[in-house]
Structure 1
Amino acid sequence: MALVPYVENPLPVLSKLHNTSAEFNFANHDLRITQDWKRLGVAAVVWDAAVVLCMYLELERVELKGKVAIELGAGTGLVGIVAALLGAKVTITDREPALDFLSANVKANLPADPLGSASVSELTWGEGLHRYPAGGFDLVFGADIVYLEDTFVPLLQTLEHLCSDATVVLLSSKIRYERDTRFLSMLKQRFTVEEVHYDKQWDIHIYRAHRLPPARRDL
């Protein structure tokens, strides 16, 4: 996620973003997620897309136990934390400036983690991908990570590197602009994409994607 601080917005719908924490209950655990909008901007608040994706993981009974997963642009880390609580071994990633904040949230909400079910790691899309196993993940998560057009190509490069033909990608997003739809079109050139859930209350879409075999990918 972009690390851009913003001034406080007076609109009531955005006021929750300026709270210093947000509380949830997932996987029978009470979670308290620290937020810091003033210091880190959009990377340090819980967006609705993350909450809806967590609900989907829990309520749709996505098979997570024993799976190897990675979260991209994790921000506060909510999705990765919930996936770990549901049994996955998760690498929770974001850009370097957000890592201390992200790590603090993970440690606060997974205090007793003897199996190492969650780890925090730096990942700038399209860079240093050799540090992550090619095709080495069963699941890839992304919540509200599609909004900056300059990141679309490196994000696709990252997804292709992380995914095998069996990997399931789950992207949760509010479709705000035409460019968001353009990203989905770009994704469909390399992945099969289907919408598997729509939350009407929060206007959040969840897409499931699988990497296409090489012969079927558009060049």
Structure 2
Amino acid sequence: MALVPYIGNHIPALSKLHNSSVEFNFGPHHVRLTQDWNKLGVAAVVWDAAIVLCMYLELGQVELKGKIAIELGAGTGLVGIVAALLGAKRVTITDRKPALDFLAANVKENIPPDQLAAVEVSELTWGQGLERYPAGGFDMVLGADIVYLEDTFPSLLQTMNHLCSENTVVLLACRIRYERDTNFLSMLKLHFMVQEIHYDKEKDIHIYKAVKLTRKDL
């Protein structure tokens, strides 16, 4: 997520974002996350898309056990943390450098000590330094509410193309707010086979599954 400073307001719908912490239960796992919107902006609060994606993972619709996963634009790290707790073999949780200390603290708070070695917090600005990540080296790429800044779309697609093999499953959870969001899906379909696999009507969140097109498909 982009690091956007926030000037407080009193809109009731946003009041939960001012809480210093939030708590969730996914299966037998209790997760408590620190939030700090005043310091880090949208990167330091839990958005509905992350919650819906975690609920979807909890349902077991996607096999996590033994998988190597990476979360993009992790913010508080909720999705990556839940993926690890639900059985992913190794999880890399990424965001831009200013968010890493905050992110790492949430990971340490919620991942059992004997599992911490399998969860890595890593800097990733989309489109930059991709050589530090194995090309096509992930079974799953996860993203929650990362489709909202149009200027980042080309670099996000470049990053996804680098991380994914033809066997990688991408799960993107997002709210379709503007025409630019549907434009991103159109861009994504040039490189990936995309289908909507879940819609949370209450929260107005879509989950899309994307699989990289093979040379035969192109």
- TM tier, shorter chain? over 0.9
Deviations 1:172-201 (A, max 9, x none): 001111100000000000000000000000
The amino acid that maps onto 1:204 is I
User: 2:86 matched to which residue of 1?
Assistant: 86
Matched ranges for 1:40-119 at <5 A: 40-88=40-88, 89-114=90-115, 116-119=117-120
TM-score (norm 2): 0.97
Separation in 1, partners of 2:118, 2:27? 14
Structure 1 segments (4+ residues) deviating >6 Å:
none
> 8 Å contact 2:72–2:141 — kept in the other structure?
yes
What secondary structure, in the 3-state scheme, does the structure 1 residue paired with 2:113 have?
coil
CA distance in 2 between counterparts of 1:95 and 1:38 reads: 17
Deviates more, 1:84-93 or 1:25-34: 25-34
CA distance in 2 between counterparts of 1:26 and 1:97 reads 28
Cα distance per residue 1:16-73 (max 9 Å; x no partner)? 0111011001131111100000000000000000000000001144210110000000
Aligned CA RMSD, in angstroms, stands at 1.1
- Whole-angstrom distance in 2 between the partners of 1:33 and 1:62: 24
Distance 2:57 2:126 in 1: 24
Q: Which residue of 1 aligns with 2:147?
A: 146
Give the match for residue 174 of structure 2.
173
Is there any run of 5+ residues in structure 1 with no aligned partner, and where? none
SS at 1:22's partner residue? strand
Question: 1:27–1:82: 8 Å Cα contact kept in structure 2?
Answer: no
Look up the match of 1:11. Answer: 11
Aligned length: 217
Query: 80-89 or 105-114, which moves further after superposition?
Result: 105-114
